[in-house]
Structure 1
Amino acid sequence: MRQRLQPLARDLGRILMALSGVMFASVVVSLAWGELFAVPALVVSGLVPLGLGRLLSTRYGDTGEVGKLHGMMIAASGWFLVAVFGTLPFVLVAWTVAVDPFPAPFAAPAALDTPTLAAFRDPLNGFFESMSGFTGTGLTMTDDEGALPRTVQWWRTIIEWVGGVGVIVLTTAILARPGSGSLTLYESEARSEKIHPSIVSTVRTIWWIFILFTFVSISLLWLAGMPIWDSINHGMTGLATGGFSVTDASIGEYNDPIIDFAMVPVMVLGSIAFPIHYLMLRGDLKNLYTDPQTRWLWGYFSLGSVALVGLLWIDGTFETGRVAVTNGVVLTGSTASLFQTIRYGLFQFVSAASCTGFGTTGIGDWSAPAQLTMSGAMVLGAAAGSTVGGIKLIRLITLVKGTAFSIRGVFYPESAVRYLKLDDRKLGESEVSRELEEASIIAFLWVLFLGVGLAVLLLTVDGSFTLENAIFEITSAQGNVGLSSGITGPAMPTPAKVMFLFNMWIGRLEIIPVLVLLRGLLDTFDFYR
């Protein structure tokens, strides 16, 4: 193996070992639900990455610290590999149910052999589901999530939960050693905020916060009336802003406004940066309005929700229908229409802007302005340092303030010394230029690959979908959101599935690490010489 790839091999081995631990722990769910047929599939799925991970981390354990190049390559290849090996439980459980090689009590119930589970016999569908889960996207190859075995439902949930914080963060918390290498890996996963001076302490604190809020989210949904199994799964994927569900119609399955409104704060929690959560838990609540990203978050969610509700009201999307409120009062006519418009508009905008991807109503038949408003929310995302996808609010802040700073500079003499306050930092002109350049590059690449994905989608899917449907779908994939206008599914053309896999991958890592990995591999193996 080339010298350049040795640090990659060592740290990828550690990532695979961490993944195997998640697989082995999931056996508990199979045992608890009496799905003994799934235990061998999970055990085999865990042994494969454990064996390979152990081999790589042992053989190349003596390599030195990683630099910025290696860190980006490890992050990009690590996310790709966990998605590859995360495919195994989907495929093996699906084939176990189809072949049913075990005698009672290990035999799989015939009722589980559904077209929904059968879709995962195709490894590409399993890989799509795994990539969608780990990247926190939530687009799915299933037609009816409620028909899946509990083991598969759990695997979809746990990979989104782990992916929400990050597989590099998980590995650093469990296996990594202190030092600059851990910092490089942490930053390569599109994170820069530190809670403590030590990166290992930072990621462990992030996990404790995440676990605490997971229990809070589960409890809130259960108290709102959601069944406990559903509360566990939706609480985990909601906080991770992932969006996988255990029901066919996502949150719309319950048709309960209390559950809808209970889910909104869960999604908002996942949209706030972890360092702000840490300060809040320490009693420093002023950061809810003094932190630039969090302050913009409130305005962004509020104005966006009002805009979407206004468009839906103008379009008359929910003109017909009646809604029963939980206290027994039945609303009809314009009152019902207004209530439903606010209920669905608020929920769906927060779901899109937080990159969660839960649904309460069909979106594919909304008007073009409403769908494009949602698409814009999915492009931007919420706060950097949280579990969301998209370009992130901090880059919008940088572009807005940096552009205004540059324009104002024309009216100052060249000898003037100017500073820009950005995210509690006081930046000079050269630093502003560097920050503005970085934000512009990310935004440009984001839009570029969005356009490539849209072109592939328009060339491969049938003509029953509108342009706004296609824009909505590709934006949902690259923004790691998971809302669908109806295009994504097992019948989706293979080129579109492959394109979406790439869009989800680069969206989670903010593109640059993936491009660095591809360039590094080309350089290493002299592919273009």
Structure 2
Amino acid sequence: MDRTEYISAIAPDIGRILRFIGVVTCLPLIVALIYQEWEMLLPMGLVPIIYVVFGTLLMQVPRPAREAKLSAALAAVALIWLLSAVIGSVPFIVGLGMPITDSIFEAMSGWTDTGMTLLPDVDATPRTLLFWRSFMQWLGGIGIVAFTIALASRSGLVQRGLYRSEGRTEAFMPSVVATGFAMWRIYIIITLLSIGLVLLSGVTLWDATNLAMTAIATGGFTVHSEGIPFYQNATLEFLLVPVMIAGAMPFKLYYLMYHNRKFGFFGDRQAIALLALTGVGFLVVALDLVYLTGAETMDAIRQGLFMATAGITSTGFQNTSPYTWPSVTVLFLVIFMLIGGSSGSTAGGMKISRVILGLESLVWWFKRIFVSGKVVVPFRHGGKTVQKNIAEVEVSKNMLIIILYFLTVFICTIVVFHLEHGAPFESSHVIFEIVSAFCNNGISTGFVTPDMSLGSKWLFIFLMWFGRLELVPILVLFVGLAKGFE
């Protein structure tokens, strides 16, 4: 399939997705009307207009007779996320006069649920744009690609390929379209419940809505420059913990509860691992803060629970700055950010499922070393025996992704050191920021600011993009553009 035929094959599907997003992104205009921010109507109104016009034009492209291959579907995903970040930056450029790079950074951070920000003053930003940031994260949490599943149109390879590319390979219902509708219903219900829970802390409806939207999406944007510490509210922090964990749980569990009235959290290995890791992280961070920094016990408990949860769920909220922590504690949190939440959740990172599969692979490998070559050692995953040829392929793919994660962090860290030579930051803090961006976490030591070099900003933009799609779709896009999509 040459490049022209490839573009023709995926253009109508991309157009359909963009038009659907265009309709949904009209919602922030209601906020502009409620708060009478008339000057924001044009900047915010440009977003749905661009989406709908561009999407309509792409839908007019004639579709070739040949069906698009999986590589085309994966490349289309990468393009959709990039286009969404570019279009999403328009309100910041037109409404705030922010530089183009900073605006694309802000929008990419929103759509990818990262939570890093280059806004010069969050408190002075119009509420319409603050809601737009939260709304981007809320939409990005369920996945732009999920829009294709919610469309009652053809469900061929392109749509299934788009859905699979975000790591949501666990189809918990036979119909892809039905899965999409169920996901959205569940997501909206959980969001409303989260808003109600956060309201119990005493914050306003405006704050509760924005915090709940970004917490369930494991995004991390807030509506104040100080972030969570602005509220000085321990109750709020404790109430946000279950919301962050809920966003990092596999969504198939919510479907079982919603459809079968079956509580299945403790029967899922990822859910158990997520809760266990949260507990371990809480203990390690809290003890480090007590014994290495002399922090008060209650402060250590408060920071340990909140930060460990924000780290493993890739939410990005923080009630303190890791900049003040010992390097060993910072590096420990880096491990949590690398792991991330569950597959089939809104979280980023490598995903707990990959870690579990990696550990099972190591056990399988060691068992095969200590037995005769004639002995067949079965590979078991999820309580089932997997055929050897399938197991070897899946194990290889899993380890390849893990290696690519570490290799990307290593290379980008070296690049940032060169771009920001002389910056007063420790090596552990730079690594922390790279991992936070790549794993779509958002917790920051203060390294990411509007004062960063232009090169570093674009590096972080691409890191957030790469991390959200777990590398493969973007690699496919680049290779396809260079060599074709055969």
Q: Please give the range of the TM-score, normalised by the shorter of the 2 chains.
A: over 0.9
Whole-angstrom distance in 2 between the partners of 1:386 and 1:511: 17
Displacement of 1:425 in angstroms is 3.7
Counterparts of 1:422-461 in structure 2, within 5 Å, are 422-461=381-420
CA contact (8 A) 1:317 1:341 kept: no
Counterparts of 1:395-414 in structure 2, within 5 Å, are 395-414=354-373
Q: What secondary structure is seen at the aligned counterpart in 1 of 2:273?
A: helix
Q: Give the aligned partner of residue 501 of structure 1.
A: 461
Displacement of 1:469 in angstroms is 1.0
Q: 1:464 to 1:294 in 2, by over 3 A?
A: same
* TM-score normalised by length of structure 1: 0.88
Q: Give the aligned partner of residue 339 of structure 2.
A: 380
Q: Give the aligned partner of residue 171 of structure 1.
A: 148
Q: 1:424 to 1:144 in 2, by over 3 A?
A: farther
Q: Work out which of the residue numbers 424, 428, 443 in structure 2 matches 1:483.
A: 443
Q: 1:189 to 1:272 in 2, by over 3 A?
A: same
Displacement of 1:400 in angstroms is 0.6
* TM-score normalised by length of structure 2: 0.96
Per-residue CA shift, 1:179-203, capped at 9, x if unaligned? Answer: 4432222112222011211111111
Amino acid at match of 1:283: R
Q: Give the aligned partner of residue 23 of structure 2.
A: 21
Q: Give the aligned partner of residue 124 of structure 1.
A: 101
CA contact (8 A) 1:317 1:366 kept: no
CA contact (8 A) 1:14 1:175 kept: no
Q: Work out which of the residue numbers 461, 471, 476 in structure 2 matches 1:516.
A: 476
Q: Give the aligned partner of residue 44 of structure 1.
A: 46
Per-residue CA shift, 1:113-139, capped at 9, x if unaligned? Answer: xxxxxxx2x011100000000000000
Displacement of 1:525 in angstroms is 10
Whole-angstrom distance in 2 between the partners of 1:392 and 1:67: 26
Q: Give the aligned partner of residue 430 of structure 2.
A: 470
Q: 1:317 to 1:6 in 2, by over 3 A?
A: farther
Displacement of 1:419 in angstroms is 2.4
Identity, % of aligned pairs?
31
Q: Which has the higher contact order (CA 8 A, sep 6+)?
A: 2
Larger radius of gyration: 1
Q: Give the aligned partner of residue 249 of structure 1.
A: 226
Amino acid at match of 2:104: F
Displacement of 1:399 in angstroms is 0.8
Displacement of 1:216 in angstroms is 0.8
Displacement of 1:423 in angstroms is 2.7
CA contact (8 A) 2:72 2:485 kept: no
Whole-angstrom distance in 2 between the partners of 1:436 and 1:525: 25
Counterparts of 1:71-220 in structure 2, within 5 Å, are 71-95=73-97, 120=98, 122-174=99-151, 176-220=153-197
Q: Give the aligned partner of residue 199 of structure 2.
A: 222
Q: Give the aligned partner of residue 371 of structure 1.
A: 330
Structure 1: which 5+ runs fail to align?
A: 96-119, 319-336
Q: Give the aligned partner of residue 393 of structure 1.
A: 352
Displacement of 1:230 in angstroms is 0.5
Whole-angstrom distance in 1 between the partners of 2:394 and 2:162: 21
Is 1:232 aligned to 2:191, yes or no? no
Structure 2: which 5+ runs fail to align?
A: none
Is 1:292 aligned to 2:294, yes or no? no
Q: Give the aligned partner of residue 378 of structure 2.
A: 419
Whole-angstrom distance in 1 between the partners of 2:185 and 2:245: 18
Whole-angstrom distance in 1 between the partners of 2:215 and 2:157: 33
Whole-angstrom distance in 1 between the partners of 2:332 and 2:430: 14
CA contact (8 A) 1:168 1:185 kept: yes
CA contact (8 A) 2:5 2:64 kept: no
Displacement of 1:178 in angstroms is 2.8
Whole-angstrom distance in 1 between the partners of 2:191 and 2:485: 44
Per-residue CA shift, 1:456-479, capped at 9, x if unaligned? Answer: 221122431111110111110001
CA contact (8 A) 1:178 1:198 kept: no
Amino acid at match of 1:505: W
Whole-angstrom distance in 1 between the partners of 2:294 and 2:204: 30
Whole-angstrom distance in 1 between the partners of 2:163 and 2:399: 22
Question: Aligned Cα RMSD in Å?
Answer: 1.7
Whole-angstrom distance in 2 between the partners of 1:43 and 1:257: 38
